[in-house]
Structure 1
Amino acid sequence: MEGFRETADADHFRRGISLLRKTVPLVALALLAGCAVPASPQVAPPTTPSSAAVSSHDFADVERTFGARLGVYALDTGSGREVAYRADERFAYASTHKVFSSAAVLKKLGVAGIDRVVKYTQADVVSASPITSQHVADGMTLRAVMDAALRYSDNTGANLLFRELGGPPALGSWLSSIGDRTTHVDRTETTLNESAPGDVRDTTTPRTWARDLRAVVLGSVLPPDARTFLTDTMRANTTGAATIRAGVPAGWQVADKTGTADHGTRNDIAITWPPGRAPIVLVVLSDHRAADATTDDALIARVTTAAVKALG
């Protein structure tokens, strides 16, 4: 949910870095310290992943500077290089789940099936629903509902997608069917953003979320027309201008979905297309100790810049 913040894990600053099989130098992360401001079974990796070396001190310095906990996973699908930091720790996924709710509905109905109009009442409308709140009287097609959920992070739209699937457990089962045994899907909007330290509900890990994202956008989980619809809608996202999009070089294309929750949670997950190169999968999740902490888009942008530089 955009505008509603949460945390994901009791061990808020656990010192675990996911290190990697093969290293290349990483110099980009050094500048961050001073700034205030394996795949799904359905998607075979192009190469054996190797990794950019990440110093725990580099990321720890960034966390101290911003007062945040970071979870990062980036994969260059062409070279196989990866960057990982706290990649197997749990974070609240917040509104980033809307990518996968949409993908699951597309898998269920196909593109031909999403022009059906769905009806709902004023009682169904929750906060942060800028599009669906305007169409209570006439309803919306599922195509328009997905557009609202993905591009405007509309929370009622997300709940209508949950309803189409059969509720949060149905999304969890679908994720399991594409190889995800990690993510917990438990509640609808907006309560899925109301977790406490140690609460594993509605959480995932950066590595898992990246695998899932790669599967639905770049893999064979969805038929080509559904994959194109999902990707094009994410490319037109309106909520991510200051996060991953702000951190990649000019000229890169980005299809992303942001998320915001309690404890200063700010997330962004994306597929990025560098000109003339294979796409990069990037997941950046973050939270803070204090329940009322503010979010920090600049943190996501800075980590993005460092991650893509590390990948080379």
Structure 2
Amino acid sequence: MIHRPIRSLTALVIAVVALTGCSTTGVASPSTSPHSASPHSTPTRAADPRSEAAARALAELESQYGATVGVYAVDTGTGRSVGYRQDDRFAYASTSKVLLAGAVLARSSDEQLDAVVPYTSDDLVSYSPITETMAGAGMPLRDVIAAALQKSDNTAANLLFRQLGGPAELEKSLRALGDETTEVERTEPDLNEAAPGDPRDTSTPRALAADLRAYALGEELPANRRKLLVDDMTGNATGDPLIRAGAPTGWTVSDKSGAASYGTRNDIAVLTAPGHAPVVMVVLSRKADKDAAYDNALVADTAKVLSTALGL
């Protein structure tokens, strides 16, 4: 894919560094798009020079890749945050598998996690590399969770939906977290249609960041369940070219990626490093053409900008 030439990412990151400010919070947002969760809200301006620089860098990445980007990242130690189109709606695609896993872990006993989930070949859907090998035999629920998070297995995700009672039950769990934004309507693979303007199976960067923080770092799950969730995300086999590729050296990235129509490429992650509080980072992206190819490098470059803006 040929991109229009712009300043290099290195130049953009240097600009962010040069404009770092003293404020510990900052949200930078361009004009609200038609996909915004609040379509009539007044556009906000960056609260500090660091966020202003990040906003300019992200706008240039949008131009370079011919995409729309939405992000929200927060350092849970300092409270500093950076957002860009943070309240606009994007298709969440397979990042929802983290939400599914968190909700199932919150509702399941240890005995249920060890119990075999039965299913047959009739339950299989596209892209099910793990569950297709166990059709008829079934898998322990904890292995179904691992398949969904580490291999993005779509049948595994649908088995988690079934375990909860369907999309409405996942949405109910999110509402209990305080998420009044995320709309959960369909299962795999239909949730990946990502049609512009369709609110089904969408969320915002800010809402997804709050949900991920609640399940991975908060009190919604006991410590052993949080560890299970984050360990499975650390073992994600699909995340290497995404936030991990843009994170600073020495940081461990536990993530869940997603891809859908309209060039949708997403990644949501918890970043950890010795001596530093965790960072929650959400990068969502889309394009105008239904058949557009997604760009892993866009997510990685965005993660570099966010890491610099947070002073990592």
Task: State the TM-score, normalizing by the size of structure 1.
Answer: 0.85
How much does 1:122 deviate?
1.0
Counting only pairs closer than 5 Å after superposition, residues 94-173 of structure 1 correspond to structure 2 as 94-173=93-172
Q: Which residue of 1 aligns with 2:87?
A: 88
How much does 1:274 deviate?
2.8
Counting only pairs closer than 5 Å after superposition, residues 101-250 of structure 1 correspond to structure 2 as 101-250=100-249
How much does 1:275 deviate?
2.9
Pick which of 66-75 and 268-277 moved more. Answer: 268-277
Aligned-partner Cα distance in 1 for 2:53–2:204: 18
Asked if structure 2 preserves the Cα contact closer than 8 Å seen for 1:245 and 1:254, the reply is yes
Q: Which residue of 2 aligns with 1:299?
A: 298
SS in 2 for 1:303: helix
Aligned-partner Cα distance in 2 for 1:261–1:234: 20
Pick which of 102-111 and 285-294 moved more. Answer: 102-111
Aligned-partner Cα distance in 2 for 1:165–1:12: 28
Change (3 A) 1:138 1:217: same
Q: Which residue of 1 aligns with 2:3?
A: none
Asked if structure 1 preserves the Cα contact closer than 8 Å seen for 2:95 and 2:256, the reply is yes
Asked if structure 1 preserves the Cα contact closer than 8 Å seen for 2:102 and 2:215, the reply is yes
Change (3 A) 1:110 1:223: farther
Task: State the TM-score, normalizing by the size of structure 2.
Answer: 0.85
Asked if structure 2 preserves the Cα contact closer than 8 Å seen for 1:17 and 1:56, the reply is no
Deviations 1:165-219 (A, max 9, x none): 0000000000000110000000000001113211000000000000110010110
Asked if structure 2 preserves the Cα contact closer than 8 Å seen for 1:169 and 1:186, the reply is yes
Counting only pairs closer than 5 Å after superposition, residues 55-94 of structure 1 correspond to structure 2 as 56-94=55-93
Aligned-partner Cα distance in 2 for 1:84–1:229: 28
How much does 1:103 deviate?
0.8
How much does 1:56 deviate?
4.5
How much does 1:54 deviate?
4.3
How much does 1:224 deviate?
1.2
CA RMSD of aligned residues (A): 1.9
Amino acid of the structure 2 residue aligned with 1:218:
L
How much does 1:223 deviate?
1.1
Change (3 A) 1:57 1:155: same
Asked if structure 1 preserves the Cα contact closer than 8 Å seen for 2:54 and 2:309, the reply is no
Asked if structure 2 preserves the Cα contact closer than 8 Å seen for 1:118 and 1:142, the reply is yes
How much does 1:17 deviate?
6.0
Unmatched 5+ stretches in structure 2: 1-31
Q: Which residue of 2 aligns with 1:5?
A: none
SS in 2 for 1:309: helix
Change (3 A) 1:271 1:147: same
SS in 2 for 1:219: coil
Asked if structure 1 preserves the Cα contact closer than 8 Å seen for 2:58 and 2:305, the reply is no
Asked if structure 2 preserves the Cα contact closer than 8 Å seen for 1:258 and 1:268, the reply is yes
How much does 1:11 deviate?
2.7
Are 1:254 and 2:256 matched, yes or no?
no
Aligned-partner Cα distance in 1 for 2:76–2:177: 19
SS in 1 for 2:52: coil
Q: Could you say which structure has the greater relative contact order, defined with CA pairs below 8 angstroms and 6 or more residues apart?
A: 1
Aligned-partner Cα distance in 2 for 1:211–1:19: 21
Aligned-partner Cα distance in 2 for 1:73–1:10: 16
Aligned-partner Cα distance in 2 for 1:290–1:191: 18
Aligned-partner Cα distance in 2 for 1:257–1:264: 17
Change (3 A) 1:211 1:88: same
Change (3 A) 1:290 1:75: same
* Percentage of identical aligned residues: 51
Aligned-partner Cα distance in 2 for 1:16–1:129: 43
SS in 2 for 1:114: helix
How much does 1:225 deviate?
1.1
Aligned residues: 277
Change (3 A) 1:274 1:163: same
Asked if structure 2 preserves the Cα contact closer than 8 Å seen for 1:18 and 1:87, the reply is no
Q: Which residue of 2 aligns with 1:11?
A: 34
